Structure 1
Amino acid sequence: MIEKTCFWNIRSVNTQESFERLMDLKRRHHYSYIALMEPFQGPYDLDKYKSRLGMDKAMANYSSKIWVFWNADWEAEVISDSYQQISIKFKHGRLQRDFVILAVNAKCCALERLELWENLEYVAEGINHPWLVGGDFNVILDE
């Protein structure tokens, strides 16, 4: 099973250039899953963008700093949802295979990222399926 995914810190879905670029990428690559960091829109606009992208399902994380979209042949179950990440276990409908995708939008301050790393460690302990982590980790080197 090879599914195409896209993680992008779009820094506002409301700019025509950014969203047109995303739609062009979706047309060319036929993504099954898209995670957008920093959409700078409230969750009330999620359905509008889901329709414009031609995706079947969508969800925003707790802070609405991460939006995720996926196709209907994936069943979703949220494992963890916090200010800096959302972890979703998917089951591919046709293949009946489970996998987990974690979308991250980390804080810039190392101290504020500690909560993220604790969340990721907690989620990782419970995963016994293939998994993928992607997103914007901002600064990852020692500070």
Structure 2
Amino acid sequence: MKIIYTPADGEEQRWDWDPGTVRAKDAELIETKADATWDEFQMQLLAGRMRARRVLLWFLLRKQHPMLKLDDVDFAAGELKAEHTVAELQELREGLEDAPNVPEDRRDAALAILDKQIATQLDEGDEPAGKALSAANAKSTA
């Protein structure tokens, strides 16, 4: 997943973020800040939940600014974008189908979002590198 942060008063920053490479201690910290399990956090990111997006940006910015507090991270909704490839969306879908800590109604809703994003990307076929936007970004570009 590519995370693109373009603050109105600063330079664009980009990160390649792969949740599968996050160390356990960092994942636990993210879970605490997001008040969600690791699986739920990933679903919330995909759905465009602002708290999850803010926690992820905080986590990424902390690599450069270790003393940064979550309460210090604030951004306009359009300043943060997440792009997913079709392969990433399919991988998320597969993982979500087997995620034991996700309530069934939330799982069904997330699977529906994933299916829609995958189908849209496959139908369009003209997106560069097969990228898809998170649900929040997809709404803002529609």
Question: Do they superpose with TM above 0.5?
Answer: no
Which has a greater percent of helix?
A: 2
Structure having the higher strand fraction is: 1
TM-score, normalised on structure 1? Answer: 0.30
* Higher RCO, 1 vs 2 (CA within 8 Å, ≥6 residues apart): 2
